[in-house]
Amino acid sequence: MTLKRLGEFGLISRIRARLKYRSGQTLLGIGDDCAVYKPAQGKRQIVTSDALTEDVHFKKNLIPPARLGYKALAVNVSDIAAMGGTPRLALLTLGIPANCPLPYLNKMLDGFLDACAQFKVELVGGDTVSSPKNLFISVTLIGDVSKDRLFTRKGARPGDGIFVTGSLGNSALGLKLLTGEKTAWKGSKKDIKFLIDAHLSPIPRLKESGALSRSKAKITSMLDLSDGLAGDLAHICQAGGVGARLCEDRLPRSPAFTNICAANKLSSDDLILGGGEDYELLFTSPPKDAKKISGLFRKAGSPVSHIGEITARPGEIVWVRSNGRESILPRSQGYDHFKS
């Protein structure tokens, strides 16, 4: 069987037949002009969209198709988690070159639908079109959030602590290892695999976001790290009209990250400050709640680090080195699709 013989509608019915998770909210799923669902009572609906384009976000030879499907959903789940929400329903839009092998598509869909089951998301629709050259995958995700526990980028106040989940720079280093700018990377197989996995199969911090949402801790702002710590913290500062102090020696590094940076003489600061796609949560909270937050994460068995403080100097991020030297970070180091 080929895509040509199967056709658009054949492919859609295959997708529909392979759904592994159904939501109680859905009244009408794939197959009509629109999907119909019943929003949960007393909640706010939230919606987000992220696309992956071949040769921009991924190279077919570097990411296996099942992981690509997983990642397309996972990065959207991370956006829902970043607001304190729960993901519910997904729309999947595929732009497919006519010569794309069917087994490749099937594996990609497997990865996507497995991820839907993992995160309890029902695929309720989408669009399937041809694309002249490159594959693209666009996912729209609908979720909901408690009215009084909606976390946005705006709201950080001077004196608030800055917190981050997990560890930083793993994905950026994993990508470096994958693209093999250097042929013989030094380091253990286990460390290299950990970093590459962090890049190919990021784990959105849904559990942690849920724990924050259910807690009584005041969260003044939150986002997920997709552009790198410096750029994403700048978003929080900009939205709140505040600044920040970041302490180098408090930034969380995984053992694998530390080992591989040391073995290959890589500058870990650049990877941590500018490296994208960690999908960790970055949030701020007043000092009185710092204990609540550390207790909460201890209970959840998940790491969190207090990495700095919000200041009253709009837009200024001060970088405090381990040796005590201070400098002001240059503005936005994030990736811009039309400038880079």
Binding site for Mg ion (CB under 5 A): 127
Q: Which stretch binds ligand ADP (CB under 6 A): 24-32, 146-154, 193-201, 270-278?
A: 24-32
Minimum CB–partner distance for residue 8 and Mg ion (Å): 9
Give start and end residues of each alpha helix (H) in the chain.
3-17, 65-82, 102-118, 170-179, 189-200, 206-214, 229-240, 255-263, 268-274, 290-300
Give how many residues touch ligand ADP by CB under 6 A: 13
What's the CA angle centered on 293, arms 288 and 296, to 5 degrees? 140
For residues 201 and 194, what is the distance between their CA atoms, to the nearest angstrom? 10
Q: What tokens were used for 201?
A: 């199969």
For residues 261 and 334, what is the distance between their CA atoms, to the nearest angstrom? 22
Binding flag, residue 73, ligand ADP (CB under 6 A)? no
Q: Which of 65, 69, 85, 125 binds ligand ADP (CB under 6 A)?
A: 125
Binding flag, residue 31, ligand ADP (CB under 6 A)? yes
Residue with the closest Cβ to ligand ADP?
125
For residues 128 and 29, what is the distance between their CA atoms, to the nearest angstrom? 16
Minimum CB–partner distance for residue 168 and ligand ADP (Å): 34
Answer with the entry of ligand ADP, Mg ion, none that 295 interacts with (C-beta below 5 to 8 A by kind).
none
For residues 142 and 45, what is the distance between their CA atoms, to the nearest angstrom? 7
Minimum CB–partner distance for residue 137 and Mg ion (Å): 16
Which helix (H) or strand (E) segment holds residue 95: the answer is strand 86-96
Is the Cβ of residue 11 or residue 229 nearer to Mg ion in the bound state?
11
137 has which bridge partners? 52, 94
Q: What tokens were used for 235?
A: 């978003």
Strands of the 281-285 sheet, one edge to the other: 221-224, 281-285, 161-165, 304-311, 243-247, 317-320, 326-328
Answer with the entry of ligand ADP, Mg ion, none that 336 interacts with (C-beta below 5 to 8 A by kind).
none
Answer with the entry of ligand ADP, Mg ion, none that 30 interacts with (C-beta below 5 to 8 A by kind).
ligand ADP
Minimum CB–partner distance for residue 231 and ligand ADP (Å): 31
Answer with the entry of ligand ADP, Mg ion, none that 92 interacts with (C-beta below 5 to 8 A by kind).
ligand ADP
Answer with the entry of ligand ADP, Mg ion, none that 123 interacts with (C-beta below 5 to 8 A by kind).
ligand ADP
Q: Which stretch binds ligand ADP (CB under 6 A): 29-37, 188-196, 280-288, 331-339?
A: 29-37
207 has which bridge partners? none
Region for 197 from its dihedrals, namely left if φ exceeds 0, alpha if ψ lies in -120 to 50, beta otherwise: alpha
Binding flag, residue 249, ligand ADP (CB under 6 A)? no
Count of CA atoms in the C-beta half-sphere (13 A) of 203: 14
- Residue entry with tokens 């087994």: 103
Q: Which of 73, 81, 92, 304 binds ligand ADP (CB under 6 A)?
A: 92
Is the Cβ of residue 10 or residue 103 nearer to ligand ADP in the bound state?
10
Q: Which of 72, 73, 82, 123 binds ligand ADP (CB under 6 A)?
A: 123
Is the Cβ of residue 125 or residue 143 nearer to Mg ion in the bound state?
125
Binding flag, residue 109, ligand ADP (CB under 6 A)? no
Q: Which of 4, 5, 17, 33 binds ligand ADP (CB under 6 A)?
A: 33
Kindly tell me the burial class for residue 223, based on how many C-beta atoms sit within 10 Å of its own C-beta (0-12, 13-18, 19 or more).
Answer: buried
By CB under 6 A, name the binding residues for ligand ADP.
12, 15, 30-33, 92, 94, 123, 125-128
